[in-house]
Copies of this chain bind each other. A is one copy, B any other.
Amino acid sequence: MIFPTIDTPSVLVDLDIAEANIDRFQSYCDAHGLGLRPHIKTHKLPMLARRQIAAGAIGITCQKVSEAEAMIADGGIDDVLITYNILGADKTDRLRRLAERVALTVVADSATVAKGLAGAFQGAARPLGVLVECDTGAGRCGVQTPAAARDLALEIARLGGLRFAGLMTYPPIGREAAVQSWLQEAKTLIEAAGLAVTTISNGGTPGMWQAHEVPAATEYRAGTYIYNDRSLQARGLCGWDDCALTVLATVVSVPTETRAIIDAGSKVLTSDLLGLQGYGHVLGRPDIRIDALSEEHGTLHAERIGLSVGERVRIVPNHACVVTNMLDRIELVRGARHEVTAPVMARGRVW
């Protein structure tokens, strides 16, 4: 039986693979003179963030204030970028306390957000660094034009308590030339208005090996690269052997010759499809489709399922980051050896 000491369903991370993934992309960033600022949403583990920093990362990226709080609690992390519009006195007050402990940068894409941040940082020992978030084509947050980026940069520079620090984008996949041109134009406009653009933060694991095609960027945020997953394998960005995160599940029922049911459902694998068919890849069994999930059941089909009740399978999920968020604990392994069970410190930190 695989990992007999680990109860199922469980999320496993192979540290050997994760460390190799960390080092591989760090080398690429080093070679291109690009700062690497890993997004911790994928692992949510301070120990892996510290490993990323030891390899050469310039700091970490978080999405929420509460994630940053959880990540820095144990020390060893002193540079944090929160790539999220932070609103409301509760959150901006916590942000101010956070800024007393680490070098902190946040983003804003509207004057409303910038003013809220400024209000909380009046009289702070250090002004809060703020990047203007730019929508370079992905259609999520961000100012819509380079001119709007300049206008918001000027607004931030005028507001007390804040320091305009540069630009940030979550870019569309595969459109590096357009992203470069957008960011370069914004930078030129802002510099022409008399402000320095010290940081330009680009990101996204799918485009990480094309990061150098956006030379305007000074740093790159990637999250999933540390674990990889089925969505990245499908894009040709990794092989199954590069997938550090797997779900260990037990076959609980084999109702027919073509169907088996496992004890990992949407409460572990999640319903994220990311454009794929099915909910994961059963290692060693490419013929099996994970067709359907209930909360606690995964339904597997194959022409001949060939599994027995009690047998274990190991699954590469579609999307590693969301799987990490489902369970309070994660099993750290190296090859076939179970190293330790670790609490997922920043799990469920949406605030």
Closest Cβ–Cβ distance, residue A259 to chain B (whole Å):
7
CA distance A7 to B326 in the complex (A): 21
A237 interfacial by beta-carbon distance below 8 Å:
no
| Contact across chains for B64 and A253 when beta carbons are under 8 A apart | no
A351 contact set on B, CB distance < 8 A = 7-9
Closest Cβ–Cβ distance, residue A116 to chain B (whole Å):
8
In the complex, how many residues of chain A place their beta carbon closer than 8 angstroms to a beta carbon of chain B? 58
A341 interfacial by beta-carbon distance below 8 Å:
no
| Contact across chains for B310 and A112 when beta carbons are under 8 A apart | yes
Closest Cβ–Cβ distance, residue A80 to chain B (whole Å):
16
A294 interfacial by beta-carbon distance below 8 Å:
yes
Instruction: Give how many copies assemble into the complex.
Output: 2
| Contact across chains for B271 and A141 when beta carbons are under 8 A apart | no
Q: Which of A24-32, A82-90, A161-169, A183-191 has 4 or more CB atoms under 8 Å from chain B?
A: A82-90
Q: Which residues A259-283 have CB closer than 8 A to chain B?
A: 259, 261, 263-264, 266-268, 270-273
A202 interfacial by beta-carbon distance below 8 Å:
no
Closest Cβ–Cβ distance, residue A4 to chain B (whole Å):
9
A16 interfacial by beta-carbon distance below 8 Å:
no
| Contact across chains for B297 and A326 when beta carbons are under 8 A apart | no
Q: A141-B297, A255-B135 are in contact. Are A270 and B270 (CB under 8 A)?
A: yes
A254 contact set on B, CB distance < 8 A = 110
A326 contact set on B, CB distance < 8 A = 325, 348, 350
A195 interfacial by beta-carbon distance below 8 Å:
no
A250 interfacial by beta-carbon distance below 8 Å:
yes
A109 interfacial by beta-carbon distance below 8 Å:
yes
A288 interfacial by beta-carbon distance below 8 Å:
no
Chain A interface main SS type: loop
A88 contact set on B, CB distance < 8 A = 7-8, 250, 310
Closest Cβ–Cβ distance, residue A142 to chain B (whole Å):
6
A296 interfacial by beta-carbon distance below 8 Å:
yes
Partner of A142, one of B90, B255, B263, B295: B255
CA distance A253 to B350 in the complex (A): 17
Closest Cβ–Cβ distance, residue A226 to chain B (whole Å):
15
CA distance A259 to B110 in the complex (A): 14
Closest Cβ–Cβ distance, residue A68 to chain B (whole Å):
13
Q: Which residues A4-55 have CB closer than 8 A to chain B?
A: 7-9, 41
- CB-defined A-B contacts under 8 Å, sample of 28: A7-B88, A7-B90, A7-B351, A8-B351, A9-B351, A63-B295, A64-B296, A84-B296, A85-B252, A87-B263, A113-B309, A139-B299, A140-B261, A140-B294, A140-B299, A141-B252, A141-B253, A141-B255, A141-B261, A142-B253, A143-B255, A264-B350, A267-B350, A268-B350, A270-B271, A327-B348, A327-B350, A328-B348
**10 extra interface residue pairs, beta carbon distance < 8 Å, beyond A139-B259, A139-B299:** A7-B90, A87-B252, A110-B253, A110-B309, A140-B294, A140-B299, A266-B272, A267-B350, A268-B350, A296-B350
